[in-house]
Amino acid sequence: MIKIRQENIDDYEEVYNVIKTAFETAEHSDGNEHNLVVALRKSDNFIPKLSLVAVKDNKIVGYILFTKIKIGEYEEIALAPLGVLPEYQNQGIGSELIKEGHKLAKDLGYHYSVVLGDDKYYTKFGYIPAIKYGIKAPFEVPDENFMAIKLNNTDTEVRGIVKYAKEFGI
């Protein structure tokens, strides 16, 4: 049984190792995702309620982080990173982390989440090319890999170029 809960300070070292291990064999990785998490936790863009761990048998096996971004005048969120230990992948853990993160983000009043990632994976959760919402990446990337999801039925139209936390180095 998987339990999804908010990360706490006692989890930091274990989460660091989960993210590092999860991305060691990732097809698209700069190998620095674990250090990015450390930096983001110290930033003004960190949202503790959207820093989640997946626990199985008292062991952290997955992690997801959503941080604040700006799209035009609106404060929204970006999903990065999502990581699951290799031996626990393909068991729905990443899916559970995403779904819980979306639910919490919606409850916190966010309208949109963006992600840079595998279009075959993230479209399963409702992500579509962000450009269809008028949301643009601040860097060159294929439209199918820069995606967004509308988290609620708001009439708020969020358009513009995404401004990430400075810790992303973008």
Domains and CATH numbers, the chain: 3-168 (3.40.630.30)
Local confidence band at 156 (pLDDT 50, 70, 90 cut-offs): confident
Q: Mean pLDDT throughout 51-78?
A: 97
Amino acid in position 97: L
Q: Which residues contact 125 (CB under 8 A, 6 or more apart)?
A: 95, 98, 99, 102, 149
* pLDDT of 116 strictly over 90: yes
Q: Mean pLDDT throughout 123-134?
A: 97
Q: Give the rounded percent of residues in the chain with a pLDDT score beyond 70.
A: 98
- Helix residue ranges per DSSP H, the chain: 12-24, 33-41, 93-107, 119-122
Beta bridge partners of 68: 77
Residue with tokens 């930091």: 12
pLDDT of residue 32: 84
Q: Which residues contact 149 (CB under 8 A, 6 or more apart)?
A: 102, 112, 113, 125, 126, 127, 128
